[in-house]
A and B are shown apart, each in its own frame.
Chain A
Amino acid sequence: MMGFGRAASAPAPRAPAPAEAPASDDALLVLYANGDPAAATELTRRHAPRVLGVATRVLGSRAEAEDVTQDAMLRLWKVAPDWRPSEAQVSTWLYRVTMNLCIDVKRKARGGHVDLDAIPEPPDPAAGAAETLQNSARHDALQAALMTLPERQRQAVVLRHIEELTNPEIAGIMEISVEAVESLTARGKRTLAKALAGRREELGYQDG
């Protein structure tokens, strides 16, 4: 009896446990699927800002970007019970869903099936309205220039140069080859540089 008691009550001495590591996205999705309400809040806190940021850049409209963010997160909640951690990272999956939702938004706005790469978009007329401060002008200038790019070029440029993803990551998100990503970003950057060429002084970039 004593032996049993000693064996049960005398665990081997252990080093103090390190500070608890934050749960992974995959673990949080499992918790969410099992009914933990806090998991959804944590996943939203981690991922929704990034989705909102990239959707705003790609769409050029904060209101549309918020709708896309909500829709993308809803899709994450729906897929949670069937989530397979080995197949994708949550962030990559969300980028892909967000890019597709952005395309849907633009397609609906055009009211039909149009080749998105064929038609550059006109600059947002609202973008020039707030150019009273130089910082605002720079911000708006970049957004206005981005909006002149065809949809897929804009997506590639935003993912590469603002989200700082690698070309293979972007290829996976946009479901195209790495070479196609390189081509889209190179063409996009050239067009952006040209669009901004005449605005150096206005934006505070002096010659020489």
Chain B
Amino acid sequence: MGLVARSLARGTANAFDRRFKAAGAVRRQASHVFPKHHSFFWGEFALYSFAVLVLSGVYLALFFVPDTTEVVYRGPFEPAQGLYMSRAYESVLALSFEVRAGLFVRQLHHWAALVFVAAMILHMARNYFTGAFRRPRELTWLGGVALLALGIFEGYLGYSMLDDLLSGLGVRIFSGLLLSVPLVGTWLHWLVFGGEFFGDIWISRFFVAHVFLVPGLLIALIGMHVGLVWFQKHTQFPGPGAREDTVVGERAMPGFASNTVANGVCVLAVLGLMAGIFQINPVFLWGPYVPSQVSTYIQPDFYAGFLIGGLRLWPRWEIHLGAYTVPAPFWVGLVLPLVMFALLAAYPFLERFSTGDRAAHQVLQRPRDNPTRTGIGAMGLVFWGILFLSGATDVLAASFDVPFELLVWAGRIGLLVLPPLAYVVVRRICVGLQRADRDVLERGVRTGVLQARPDGVYVEVRRPPGGADRQGRPIPLEYGGARVDHRPATSPEPVGEEPR
């Protein structure tokens, strides 16, 4: 650094500090210790995808026209010429075909949205299975649950307002779900759509919600979420020096900051590559929304798959109360997702209540070390997975040439049978893994080498990580919650196994 630059930097720092008295805080945050683990990356991945979403979204909003007014298309895209379409859809065609890199930015936005939700799901799974949500991080977890729900809703709003044939059906389904609410459904529908489906105001309202209300909430929640992670300190896996009252890792400056910025740049690069070479939601191929038209293989974005799967599986149970009706989709289209998210939100409190563990935790658990929690998580994932697959019964039926009725029944029965089964199996696997770890620590790593003892008995050679005492018996080690090395080559001297 040159002399001028250095004195300039010093001057700026001094001026800043004289006004804001920030030196102490700057020093404290620069030496803030952040734990290192590759699985901590998913949250960052979601964060950087969101940043890409905001930037690309602002750009797209400069071109998108949130207007239901119908026009006849006269643009350069020949297959659509002469078709009636909303100005919204027309503006998307214009952006895709007449703006340099318009299609690129639109696909960047869509891919970033998919990656945003996917990364949130992975991030949430990581936090769940390692018990990161435990005290004192319940609020961080609740914020995360809200972010996932809002993220899915935001994505739905975004692809709906393009008003193409595929998303129009999604809006139609949303309208039907509003109508299905008991007592106030029709009023609710009129409140949102301003009248009967589809009316002429819904795109403006979806637009305001998509670019203003929901992103505002998302930004506020992300601020809270990341702020809590930072100031409560990040959790850490068990390892040397990692205790409940320490954080082991690298300091924010320069290590953590450099790495996270580099990660962000890499996320942007991957999203850009996807935007360029993987076509996503080609609305110009779907055509404009026409209420009488439909295509086959109606598939929403992946994060809505579990909703459409539920709607396909739920039987036609309309409840009649005198002259009034509770339509069947209400239970699965609105109540089920609400219950699922409520259970997610309540989980930390349910676990604390059932285990009585009220302690604050800084050190994470490996999934195997809490078999009940891991089993419940597997149960939830299997439940979600079956709903997700059932959202694609038509595609699966066509791909594997089986009647879709069979798949619907498989989904219905699977939804009841497989999650408990997953719980039992995964719990069992966890216990088995725990025993395998203990076996290594207490008796040694299996080498696969057989040894003949003088009395003719064959025993397997073991290498106990804690070494052996004078009699050649392994010295047992305590399990500390960290990974146990099962590879024979890295263990110390061999010990002959006693026959059982």
> Are the chains A and B members of one assembly?
no
Chain A residues with CB under 8 Å of chain B are none
Chain B residues with CB under 8 Å of chain A are none
